[in-house]
Amino acid sequence: MPHPFKQPPRALDRDAFVARFGAVYEHSPWIAEAVFEAGLTPRHDRPSGMHEAMRAVVESAGRERQLALLRAHPDLAGRVAVAGELSRQSTSEQTGAGLDKCSPEEAARFTALNEAYNAKFGFPFIIAVKGKDRREILNAFETRSAYDSASEFRTNLDEVHRIALFRLREL
């Protein structure tokens, strides 16, 4: 059974709760705010229960809010990463996958894929990079770039949820 959080979320006031869980979904504290406002129960004291609650908020948010969530994510190995302007979590995740060590050819490939993907879909390519290397990420990027918009929207939301679960487990 997954371990509970070190400090039970139910013991936190609203500000402390949002400060702790607001970054679980990239630049989208509204998700943590909604979970808190809905009321915390003992199930929220475990990463799996918190994840279920946060996922439910996203899934019921409507397409425009979901699109804003997708657009809050940075490009992989993109300009924001190179400039050192990623969130602490994204920096750690991209560094863990070796995206900070791209060869010039890999960096150029990521840039081209990011631009083409954004132009086609209107949101960035998102993948939970934990446990993956640059080659796996580039392969997934190239494969998924051929998919249709509805499929990629859903896949990206699923990947965002995976990232959130990894982040919750790290808390």
| Separation of alpha carbons 52 and 56, rounded Å | 6
Specify the DSSP class assigned to residue 122.
S
| Separation of alpha carbons 13 and 11, rounded Å | 7
List, in order, residues 6 or more apart from 125 with CB less than 8 Å away: 75, 76, 113, 114, 117, 141, 144, 145, 156
Q: What would the DSSP string read from start to end of 23-36?
A: TSSTT-HHHHHHHH
Contact 168, 31 (CB under 8 A): no
Is residue 163 helix, strand or coil? helix
Given 3, 27, 44, 73, the catalytic residue: 73
161 is catalytic: no
Residues with catalytic annotation?
A: 73
